[in-house]
Every structure is written in C-alpha cells, then in structure tokens.
Structure 1
C-alpha cells in the first residue's frame, strides 16, 4: 500500500535517499506520472500544498504534507520503528543526525559546487575548484577514519545515516574523485557498496560510477576559421623596377581579413529604441519615480523591435552560499559578451544561503531570446519566459527586477548583477 506521493528528481542524491529509506522500511512511495521541475512546482495547485515551491515534497494519503529532504526521510524512517533506521537511544539518534550533517554539508555541498562549476553554470576558477574539492576530500577522510573500525556509521545495523552517506558518496565518486584518490577511501566505498547493493535498494541507487579522472571543466571550443582554398599560381609578370617589386611583395604578404559574418539580429528593421541609451539611462537615473529610468523606458520602448524576458535558473535546489550564486550570474554574463550590443540584463539572487533562487529579466533585440543567449554554453541551464508589459503581473516583475527589490515566494533580493 502506498504511503503517498513524493515529488522529487529521482537521480539526485536527495531523491534517492528518501526513496531508499522508504524501500528499506517496507513502505511504498508513488512518484507523479510526470513532473517538470521549475514548471510544475510553480503551478498554483502545487504552491497551494507547498507554498515554498521546493522539492523533495511529500503528501501522504491522509493529507499530511512535508518538504525538506531530512525532514521527509526522518518521518518515513519513524513510521517503521523495526527497520532500525532511527535508533531509539537518544545518543545514537544524535549520532545519526551528526553523520547526516557531515555527509550533506562537508561532502555533498562542495561536490555539488564543483559539479555546477565544471558544467559551466557559473564562472570557472581553478582555486575555487581546488578549495571545494579539498573540502569534500576532508569530509570523506573523516568518514573513512570512522569506518576503519566500524561496519556502519552508528551501531551494528543500517540507519538513515548510512543511506544518506551512500547517496552522497555515489555523487562524490563521479565528481571529485579519480582512480588514485579513491584508493584513500577503501572503507568508505566498501560501506557505500554494501548499502547500494541491498536487495531493496539496488534498483533505486543503481551502480556507483568509478571514473578514471575527476570531473574537469572543459572550456567551450573556439570557432575555427575555415581554411582558404589554395590560390592558382599567378601568371609570370614582367620584371618591374626594384622599388615597385618590393612594394608588391609587401602587399602580397599582408593577409586579407575575411569579412565578418553578419549577425541575423542586425538584419532586423531599424528600431526607434536605442539599447545603449537605455543602459545609460538605467545607470544614471533613479530606477523608480518621476524622471527615473523606468519612466524613460516606457516612453521609448519599441515592443516590435525588442522583447523582455524573465530568466530563471533551473537548479536552485543546488545553490548554497549567496556569493557563489552571484558568481554564477557573473559567469553567465561573462559568456554573453558576444551579445552585449543586443542585450541588457538585471538578474539577482533572492533568499539566503541554502535557500535561494536566481531570477531576473533580460531585454533583447528581436522577439526570440535564443539567438542572443546561445553564445553562452550554459544558457540551457536557465528557463526563459517572454513578458507582456501590458500585463500587470509581468510589468510588476519587470520593474522589481530592475529596481533590485524583487521578491519571489517570500525570498528577498540578496545580491545581483547587471549586464549592460
């Protein structure tokens, strides 16, 4: 019999952890028939049940609702006391919470940041990559030392801490560990293999990946110019005076530049709205109020030649520190440099550490956002929705994003960046 419905992303460690806890406790959880992240969890019917709009989220058959990974996992574990997932002894219960915290904050969080950075979700810097890899390895070392003399993390049976650690090690193994560094953690991987290969859990976890090399950032390839076809040999010319001959040779040695390919946005009909003038108005005027930049915008905007878009990050559940999320925005903007003459942006981090979203607005030439943003390799890590400024809700969102006082689901603007 099903306990209820769990909204989650099954491949993420958090989703695997909850499903594994339920399976180990002999409970069944249903997943929605279809779930599209950052679409379904923003719908009114979902927000009516879970106002924060965050997953994982659980609704039981009797109408009980709870979100946040650890809260859901603990609730499920408590429903089957004979499963040993939650020890009855207060000291052992505290140790379970301790190891869950170590796994989440000292291993999973830095591994997720490395994963995001190497996938181009924010600006890559080698020192940051090194720092967070070392932090994850430090957490793994703490676990390794403990498991050198213990079969499981707490006591002699599998607890929620063991399931949590296995889900985290599975992620870390594919991100921050190479073949050589894995040799330092034999007890940790012995433990993880024991958990993921439990008969009730094997299908949920799947195999642990053991790549030869840790995940690395690969810069996007630079466009190569096509080689010119070899020119046919020129007919032999009459000998010229020495000076003229030298001049001709100099001219022949100077490479002729190929004409640059014209951007299709340049072929659009001329617009009365000057994006550079808007950028200057935005920089030099107060945003709101009489004489402000928004007033200037509405007086000059050409909705036929330009369009306004809402931009949202797809992986908010993986965001941690606000400054790191702000750096992610800066990385996107850096990779949009080739579209600077066609684009303006005001994007921010809303919320606080480990509970934030990235959202904002873009103004682009034309009526399609893709030609402007696809120059950034990570553009598909974001969703884009065209705003209708004649709609009160869209207009309010646009103004708040420009004024840096945007709020979403109670999350206030914490930091932001402009692309101009």
Structure 2
C-alpha cells in the first residue's frame, strides 16, 4: 500500500494520535518521519518553507498537498476512502461529528490544557479561583458527555466516527490531569466509551498505555528559600578612642540611596492620573459630563502619552475567557508601574477567532520604561495614538467605552488597569 504522505508529530501528542488513529481506521498508510525533534526540526528553514507557522501536527502529502491544524488533517484523511463512514453517511451525521469534535477540543481539551499550565506554574501567577472555575466548567462538560453516552455506544452513529476518536484522544489526556478516581466513578459511560475506542485492535498501539491518576493534579507552591543562619561574630576588642580629627575621617562606606524611577524625574504634569482614574470609575464613559469629556479637558500631552496595545500572537488564542485571564495576568505584572499607568484592554471576537487589544495612558513620552516591569511586555506591540487623528481618537474612545470593534470583531470582555 502506497503512503499518502508524512505526518509530523510526536508520540505523546494527543492530536497526533487522533490523526494516526483516523488513518488506521480509514485503511490508509501514513508515514512518520524517521527522526523528528520537536522545537528543533520545526524551526529549521526547510520545515518552515513547507509550514510557515512551524506547528505540529503537520501533513506533507505524497502528491505535494500540505495541511496544518489537526482538525483539518483528520477530516481530510477520514474522507479519503470512497466508502468511509468516519465523517457520517449524510449531512446531518457529518454536522453531528463536527459538533462533538468541537466539543472535545473546546470544552474538555482546552480546560485540561489550562489546568495543567496552572498547576505546573507555567501560567503565572497561580489563582485558585480561576483553577476552580475552569475545573467546574470541565465537570459540566463531562456531565453533558456522560448523559449523551448513557443511551448509546458511540457518539453519532452505530460505528466509530472521527468524533469518537477525537473524544478518546482528549479524554486520555484528561485522565492524567483532571479525571481522577472520584470523577471516574461519576462518569462510567465516559470511561466505557474511552476504553472501547482505545482497545480497538487497530488503535491499541497508537494510544498506548493510559495513565489513570488517583488524585487530580494540584498546585504546589515553590518552597521558600531558607536563609542559612550565620554564626554571631566574636566581639571585637575595644579600640582606643581616636582623636577628634580621626573621627571626622570616616572611611566606612555609606549606604547608597536607592535610585529613583526615571519617570519621577520628569517635569510635573498638570494631568493628575489618580484624578483621571476616579473620574473614569465614577462617570459614564461617553456623554455630557462623562469621563471622556473630563479627559479631554484635563489631559496634558506633554506629560503623558496614549498608546494602542495589540497582542502579537492572536492566532494562539482559543477561549475568550482564557484571553481575558491573560489580560488580567499582564496587568498584574504591571503592578510596579501603577502610579504611572492607566489601561483599558479587551478581547474582541469569538472562540478560536479573537484578538487582544486596547489602550494605555502612560507617564512620559516613551512606553518602554512604564511597561518593561512586566516580563511579558514584549508579547505586545505598542503604537502611539494621536488624539487629533479621527481614527486614533475613535479607537481610544471605543477601548475606554468597551464598545470597540476591529475588522468585524466586537468587544466581548475587558479589564482595566487603575
């Protein structure tokens, strides 16, 4: 059997397992590269020439056809055999397959991934309320899935479809992070369905051994550094009191004063940032005697500047509430600049098609000294706004009023830095 092409993935990648399982059930041959080192090979020019975004899974077809994004690759392979039923047998079944694939990725896998990042300290700072909220959303998803499977063997038809394979791939990951013994007892049909899929003779080697955790992964704060106790120094022998002239010869170095923030050395401004923050909090944003009217009456363009802020990696955003949490994390890391900065940023768009953008009002004429206190400040692009320019002014006012719209994407959630 001739191979249809090469799949770049790693053995443990859940979406890679999904595609390999689809190929196995579709009866098509799919090659894996003889050697592939992730984070190395996918950054090489020859890989990026084929897949400019550099992510895996990536499919390099024998006929020159190429795809990235696991859902697209899996659908393509599932549809290759003329008699394939992996995508259903009619339009309604195909729509239901797509529904459950989307549910698996957005309502289960996304929460597993985020919880893993939180408890492992990859997403910082750790916040217990956020962890709890995400876990509750995932449990709600498990309940929906459990109820659906309580009356059927497979998700859509009486045979395995892409929906079942996709669900099994995300449940396998959840079983090692969140779906612990107590939850498994509540969702027997989910476990039954998962084990039915992964134990298919064609799929056993692909899915491999599954880790069933007894207790969901939990966050462990890093241990505090213990300072070693230093032995008390032996008392020095008393020296003869020096002459007055010698007393005035003070060779002991004095403690250097702490350097001031360079922003404190700027000329005094007539614009009081704290007064602005109070006006913004207590007034309607638009309208007569609103916050924007207050701003234009009092703003000092010599002492402050206004900036548009755009996240550089919007293509990586998934759930809009996760993007909103990301803004909150960025603002938390700007805490050291609170007295020099005001911000209004938001998420615009929808799940898997959103952007993060907004405005900052900053002390001085350069944004870098204000934002570089945040380790991730370079993940954003900063463009100075000219409030005499109608387009810039409209963007500024939309971001403050939380009704900004960019390229058809509407404001869905936002946060202020005050």
- In the other structure, the counterpart of 2:143 is 138
SS of equivalent residue, structure 1 residue 344: strand
The question of whether the paired residues in 2 share the 8 Å contact of 1:387 and 1:394 is answered with: no
Instruction: Summarize the Cα distance change of 1:327–1:226 in structure 2 as closer, same or farther, 3 Å threshold.
Output: same
* 1:319 paired to 2:319: yes
For 1:158 and 1:173, how far apart are their aligned partners in 2? 21
Root-mean-square deviation (CA, aligned residues, Å) is: 5.8
Instruction: Summarize the Cα distance change of 1:318–1:145 in structure 2 as closer, same or farther, 3 Å threshold.
Output: same
- In the other structure, the counterpart of 2:349 is 351
Measured against aligned partners, the alpha-carbon deviations of 1:77-107 in whole angstroms (never above 9, x if no partner) come to 3343333312326776576456446535653
The question of whether the paired residues in 2 share the 8 Å contact of 1:74 and 1:86 is answered with: yes
Shift of 1:343: 3.8
For 1:57 and 1:277, how far apart are their aligned partners in 2? 53
- In the other structure, the counterpart of 1:85 is 86
For 1:18 and 1:276, how far apart are their aligned partners in 2? 58
SS of equivalent residue, structure 2 residue 266: coil
Once the two structures are superposed, the pairs formed by residues 16-415 of structure 1 within 5 Å of their partners are 17=18, 21=22, 25=26, 26=28, 33-34=47-48, 73-74=74-75, 76-88=77-89, 96=97, 99-100=100-101, 103-104=104-105, 107-108=108-109, 110-112=111-113, 114-115=115-116, 118=119, 119-120=123-124, 123-125=127-129, 127-139=132-144, 141-142=146-147, 145=150, 150=153, 153=155, 157-178=159-180, 181-182=183-184, 186-194=191-199, 198=203, 202=206, 208-211=210-213, 213-218=215-220, 226=227, 229-232=230-233, 266=261, 270-272=265-267, 277-281=272-276, 283-284=278-279, 293=295, 297=299, 299-301=301-303, 309-311=309-311, 317-320=317-320, 325-326=323-324, 329-330=327-328, 332-334=330-332, 336-352=334-350, 355-362=353-360, 367=368, 371-374=372-375, 379=376, 383-389=379-385, 400-415=398-413
Using the size of structure 1 for normalisation, the TM-score is 0.60
Gaps of 5+ in 1: 42-54, 238-258
For 1:195 and 1:260, how far apart are their aligned partners in 2? 71
SS of equivalent residue, structure 1 residue 34: helix
The question of whether the paired residues in 1 share the 8 Å contact of 2:347 and 2:354 is answered with: yes
The question of whether the paired residues in 1 share the 8 Å contact of 2:309 and 2:383 is answered with: yes
For 1:334 and 1:105, how far apart are their aligned partners in 2? 26
Measured against aligned partners, the alpha-carbon deviations of 1:220-276 in whole angstroms (never above 9, x if no partner) come to 777x68567454466999xxxxxxxxxxxxxxxxxxxxx9995x7725671237698
The question of whether the paired residues in 2 share the 8 Å contact of 1:313 and 1:358 is answered with: no
For 1:228 and 1:316, how far apart are their aligned partners in 2? 47
SS of equivalent residue, structure 1 residue 346: strand
Shift of 1:193: 2.8
Shift of 1:336: 4.5
Which of structures 1 and 2 has the larger relative contact order (alpha carbons within 8 angstroms, sep 6+)?
1
For 1:368 and 1:8, how far apart are their aligned partners in 2? 41
For 1:82 and 1:314, how far apart are their aligned partners in 2? 39
Gaps of 5+ in 2: 33-41, 239-254
Aligned residue pairs, count: 367
- Structure 1 window deviating more from structure 2 (164-173 vs 280-289): it is 280-289
The question of whether the paired residues in 1 share the 8 Å contact of 2:149 and 2:155 is answered with: no
Shift of 1:348: 0.7
For 2:10 and 2:263, how far apart are their aligned partners in 1? 41
Shift of 1:330: 3.8
Instruction: Summarize the Cα distance change of 1:18–1:390 in structure 2 as closer, same or farther, 3 Å threshold.
Output: farther
Instruction: Summarize the Cα distance change of 1:292–1:75 in structure 2 as closer, same or farther, 3 Å threshold.
Output: farther
For 2:263 and 2:230, how far apart are their aligned partners in 1? 33
For 1:275 and 1:163, how far apart are their aligned partners in 2? 63
For 2:339 and 2:21, how far apart are their aligned partners in 1? 50
For 2:257 and 2:315, how far apart are their aligned partners in 1? 35
Shift of 1:389: 4.4
Shift of 1:418: 1.1
